[in-house]
Structure 1
Amino acid sequence: MALLGIGAAMMTSSGMGIIGGTLEGKLKNRAIAIVGGGQGIGFGLGLVCAGFLCDLHRGWRWIFVVQACLGAIFVLLGWASVPAEGERYNRALDLPGASLCVVSLLLLTFSLSHSQNVGWKVPYIPALFALSLVLLAAFIYWEHIAEKRGDSVLLKIGMFKNKQLCAFFVLMFAMWWNFNVLQYLSTVYFQNVQGLSPVKTAIRFIPEAIADFVVNVSTGWIIEHIPGQWLNMFGILTSMTASVLFAIINPAVSFWRNAFWVTVLMTGADTIYTVGSLYVLTSMDAQSQALAGGLFLTFTRLATSIGLAVSSAVATAVSRHQVLPSSLLRGYHAAGWVCFAASCVGLAVNVGALWGIGLLVAEEREELSEKA
């Protein structure tokens, strides 16, 4: 699983850099939107296929066979389509920074996720959590010193002088907390509360995959005509609505009257993915776009890890570790309100720090940067 994560992270960062360095204007907008839409299609197809495979005898193993085959196909497609030349980072790898970053995030994720099983009273949980924060602070300090010396760095601290860029990172963290945790909560709700099989659970996510694709592709076209802050607001409000609907969801009510709207409305957050990705790519020079894009998406992964750990801990505490469907439902409702709180943070960031970002058309932003 770690290798799968490493591969996905490498492709994501390099993909953002390639899009930013080789495409211009409206084509760049639409390429980012298609990337997001492809994630929605992949999510839906993956769930359906995995659901059918899990219902087969030892079928879950074939999920990884399918992934390996897809990986081989993508290698060939990349070899044939990715430009041979582009902007290159011509410095050495920042090994101390990479080591500090990896160890601190591993300890942070482990302590938060494992705490819901053993609690915070077990001595090693708070100790590892505190150590992760110390190492994370050491990583930031190391990167700051290395950048001042002109050495190679994993993270350019100087990019955080752009307050709107920092605000986008926070916005993405808050909204992806909401989005990914709601996906997880919906899955366990279907299976643990309603008692559905993996196949029936997967089928209920098909509307989300369709909505995901529509939202992403539509955003790629309308982003040239609607200011970014309003697109962000659409994503935030739909996510907030999805959170509230899940926080009061009733298993006795039909899928089409409540859970359907949760799965569809949560995809509004994908507008923020497109707006944020385009803002990052058009705010950085060509050599820094892959780094900034990778950092942008790292925040989404951190939001998923931390959001799942915190929300699961809340759900477990409210359900009092009981496994009865009624007890689990109370915990899931509480976790839904946690997601709503995360969306409220996103709303505050958008109104307070990102209001007025305007149209995100690449050529216009480059002209503004040159004039500045």
Structure 2
Amino acid sequence: MRANMEALPLESTSSLSLKPGSDVQLVTVGDECSQEVVTNSVSSGSLIRRVTAITYLCGMNVTSSASNGLIVIALPRLTKDLELPPSLAFWPSSVQGLTTASTLLLAGAIADVLGSRSVNLSGCILNCIFILTCGLVKNGEELVVLRALQGIATALHLSSSVALVTQVQPQGRERNVAFACLGLSQLLGFSSSLVVGGILIDTLGWRSGWYFCGGLTLLLFAIGWWALPRTARPGSLRITIRNLKKKVDWVGALLASTSISLLTYFLGLISTGIDQVRSPLALVPLSLSMVATALFVYWMHSRVKRNRVALIPNGLWKNLSFTSICITVALSFAVLNSLDLVTSLYFQEIERLSALEAAIRMLPSTVVGLALNITTGLVVHKIRANWLVAFASLISAGSPLLMAVIQPDWPY
């Protein structure tokens, strides 16, 4: 066969065409142009798959953030239709963040063992199921439970998405832009859900928004199944179970999740009334949270001392950059999430605007956020990140300060 190919004239070989997916072994035939065509074809296919993978990850962020936006803009209507008691009024919007924060570290450890692709796709299909089911709820308790389960599915996606970006995009400007797109997609999902959700609430009803989000997530699952890079299988079932036992700090994850859950539960209780801070119902979870935190610190010290896998080694907090980033992100999201909810309630409950009118008035903040994400991805390699963070934090501080002194008769 090889002798025959070498005997072919150049005119014959140039008429051959390669079909996508064909299993062909190339041999040296002295035709550099044909080799260049094959190389360009492979590069083009790889580029399409990489772009599609990033699109899938951003799309998952869009649907996850869109569900949060639907809750924020529809909360007054949800409270009325589902007859939510005052003690549960804010839980549909906050419980997802609670379960995501409680399981994020554990989900990341599991992704290291099972692979980022399988964990991310699992989170995607679970998100689809829980989002669709949110549109079928009959009471507020069901909605709170489903939102909590959705938070766990979101943790599976978030814990593996960063690793998938590093696998798909080479280090450099392309990877920076990809990370910027992940942040941009969250704002895009939230802002679009405000407008679309406002229209749906005033026309078809709030349930239709959940059906639309769930259908989009199902489509993304099919896209991710094709586009995400495949990794080596973890091995047999016995090897996988053994790795999960040895390479995952289950006790540390349990202590961290318990501490975060109890602390958030305490904050949720006192949000219904500051006088609740003295009640045993609030003091008990706060005390247990502090105990779980102390046990977590001791357990991390013990694991490192015995050369075992530790969830977050205590020595990591000595890195001032890491610690300051964690604190900055925590405070930023605390302000962002609470301000979105308070702003939505202000426009609908105080100024008596419709859901769509409230959504339109909340759009400027998300538009600025979109612009900043794009700009950051383009200039982060030229300007020090700490200066960008400090400047953005300083400018953003004006928004909650203005809301603190706002009067209903002031123009927007």
TM-score range, shorter chain: 0.5 to 0.7
Question: CA offset at residue 149 of structure 1?
Answer: 2.0
Q: Is structure 2 residue 260 aligned with structure 1 residue 114?
A: no
Alpha-carbon distance between aligned partners in 2 of 1:144 and 1:194, rounded to the nearest angstrom: 53
- The number of residues matched between the two structures is 254
Q: Is the 8 A contact 1:147 1:156 kept in 2?
A: yes
Alpha-carbon distance between aligned partners in 2 of 1:46 and 1:176, rounded to the nearest angstrom: 18
Alpha-carbon distance between aligned partners in 2 of 1:2 and 1:70, rounded to the nearest angstrom: 20
Q: Is the 8 A contact 1:194 1:251 kept in 2?
A: yes
Find the partner of 1:195 among 352, 362, 387. 352
SS of structure 2 residue aligned to 1:205: helix
Q: CA, structure 1 residues 87+219, in 2 after alignment: closer, same or farther (shift >3 Å)?
A: farther
Question: CA offset at residue 206 of structure 1?
Answer: 2.5
Alpha-carbon distance between aligned partners in 1 of 2:232 and 2:311, rounded to the nearest angstrom: 19
Find the partner of 1:5 among 144, 148, 151. 151
SS of structure 2 residue aligned to 1:204: helix
Question: CA offset at residue 200 of structure 1?
Answer: 1.3
Amino acid at match of 2:262: L
Alpha-carbon distance between aligned partners in 2 of 1:104 and 1:80, rounded to the nearest angstrom: 38
* Map of 1:45 onto structure 2: 192
- Note the 1:25-36 alignment, pairs <5 A: 25-36=172-183
Amino acid at match of 2:195: V
Q: Is the 8 A contact 2:188 2:366 kept in 1?
A: yes
Q: Is the 8 A contact 2:167 2:229 kept in 1?
A: no
- Two-structure CA RMSD over aligned residues (Å): 2.3
Amino acid at match of 1:99: L
Q: CA, structure 1 residues 87+169, in 2 after alignment: closer, same or farther (shift >3 Å)?
A: farther
* Map of 1:105 onto structure 2: 260
Question: CA offset at residue 60 of structure 1?
Answer: 2.1
* Map of 1:96 onto structure 2: 251
Amino acid at match of 1:147: V
Identity percentage of aligned residues = 30
Alpha-carbon distance between aligned partners in 2 of 1:15 and 1:77, rounded to the nearest angstrom: 15
Question: CA offset at residue 86 of structure 1?
Answer: 7.9
Find the partner of 2:215 among 53, 56, 69. 69
Q: CA, structure 1 residues 64+22, in 2 after alignment: closer, same or farther (shift >3 Å)?
A: same
Q: Is the 8 A contact 1:21 1:87 kept in 2?
A: no
SS of structure 2 residue aligned to 1:132: helix
Question: CA offset at residue 105 of structure 1?
Answer: 1.6
Question: CA offset at residue 115 of structure 1?
Answer: 2.2
Alpha-carbon distance between aligned partners in 2 of 1:61 and 1:140, rounded to the nearest angstrom: 44
Alpha-carbon distance between aligned partners in 2 of 1:103 and 1:85, rounded to the nearest angstrom: 32
- Note the 1:204-353 alignment, pairs <5 A: 204-255=361-412
Question: CA offset at residue 98 of structure 1?
Answer: 2.0
SS of structure 2 residue aligned to 1:151: coil
* Unpaired segments ≥5 residues, structure 1: 256-372
* Map of 2:319 onto structure 1: 162
* Map of 1:137 onto structure 2: 294
Task: Give the TM-score normalised by structure 2.
Answer: 0.57
* Map of 1:82 onto structure 2: 228
* Map of 2:107 onto structure 1: none
* Map of 2:281 onto structure 1: 124
Question: CA offset at residue 22 of structure 1?
Answer: 4.0
Q: CA, structure 1 residues 187+86, in 2 after alignment: closer, same or farther (shift >3 Å)?
A: farther
Task: Give the TM-score normalised by structure 1.
Answer: 0.63
Task: Tell me the alpha carbon deviations over residues 59-96 of structure 1, each in whole angstroms, 9 at most, x when there is no partner.
Answer: 22233322321221221222122211289896533222
Amino acid at match of 2:258: V
- Structure with the greater relative contact order (CA < 8 A, sep ≥ 6): 1 or 2? 1
Q: Is the 8 A contact 1:179 1:239 kept in 2?
A: no
Q: Is structure 2 residue 165 aligned with structure 1 residue 16?
A: no
Question: CA offset at residue 143 of structure 1?
Answer: 2.5
Task: Tell me the alpha carbon deviations over residues 269-303 of structure 1, each in whole angstroms, 9 at most, x when there is no partner.
Answer: xxxxxxxxxxxxxxxxxxxxxxxxxxxxxxxxxxx
* Map of 2:310 onto structure 1: 153
Amino acid at match of 1:97: G
* Map of 2:105 onto structure 1: none
Alpha-carbon distance between aligned partners in 1 of 2:195 and 2:314, rounded to the nearest angstrom: 42
Q: Is the 8 A contact 1:51 1:199 kept in 2?
A: yes
Q: CA, structure 1 residues 22+140, in 2 after alignment: closer, same or farther (shift >3 Å)?
A: farther
Amino acid at match of 2:185: G
SS of structure 2 residue aligned to 1:120: helix
Q: CA, structure 1 residues 240+209, in 2 after alignment: closer, same or farther (shift >3 Å)?
A: closer
Alpha-carbon distance between aligned partners in 1 of 2:349 and 2:411, rounded to the nearest angstrom: 16
Alpha-carbon distance between aligned partners in 2 of 1:235 and 1:244, rounded to the nearest angstrom: 15
SS of structure 1 residue aligned to 2:278: coil
Amino acid at match of 1:41: L
Q: CA, structure 1 residues 50+144, in 2 after alignment: closer, same or farther (shift >3 Å)?
A: farther
Alpha-carbon distance between aligned partners in 2 of 1:20 and 1:209, rounded to the nearest angstrom: 27
Q: State the 4+ residue runs in structure 1 displaced beyond 4 angstroms.
A: 86-91
* Map of 2:337 onto structure 1: 180
SS of structure 1 residue aligned to 2:394: helix
Q: CA, structure 1 residues 77+144, in 2 after alignment: closer, same or farther (shift >3 Å)?
A: farther
Question: CA offset at residue 4 of structure 1?
Answer: 1.1
SS of structure 1 residue aligned to 2:397: helix
Task: Tell me the alpha carbon deviations over residues 209-267 of structure 1, each in whole angstroms, 9 at most, x when there is no partner.
Answer: 32221110111101122122221122111111222222222321222xxxxxxxxxxxx
* Unpaired segments ≥5 residues, structure 2: 1-146, 235-239
Amino acid at match of 1:7: A
Q: CA, structure 1 residues 160+39, in 2 after alignment: closer, same or farther (shift >3 Å)?
A: same
Q: Which one is further off, 80-89 or 35-44?
A: 80-89
